[in-house]
Amino acid sequence: MVGYCPICGKPVYFGEKKRSLGRDYHPLCLKCQECKRQLTPGQHAEHDEKPYCTHCYMRNFGPRGNRRVVSHSYHNTAST
């Protein structure tokens, strides 16, 4: 049975498929939707049925604390 690539919608034949997270992709279609980096099957995250590398996924959809890291330095100016 031939599956269809969720990215391009074309048939994915057995000899060319990359199976990841229950879906069959063409090798060139399995890339991050944001940064376009090629992904390894099973080593990525999905949002709205689209693949993302872990970095882009955490930046865009992860817990609020992972979206932007802001560092503040506080100095004690009280004299002793």
pLDDT digits (tens, 9 = 90+) for 3-37: 899 999 999 999 898 988 888 999 999 999 999 99
Q: pTM of the entire structure?
A: 0.68
The SS3 assignment for 34 reads coil
Strand boundaries in 1-80, DSSP class E: 3-4, 11-12, 18-20, 23-25, 45-47, 50-52
> What are the boundaries of each domain within the chain?
3-61
Contact status, residue 50 vs residue 58, Cβ threshold 8 Å: no
Question: What is the rounded distance in angstroms from the CA atom of residue 70 to the CA atom of residue 60?
Answer: 16
Q: How confident is the model at residue 72 (pLDDT cuts 50, 70, 90)?
A: very low
Fold (topology level) of 3-61? Cysteine Rich Protein (2.10.110)
Tell how far CA 49 is from the center of its chain: 11
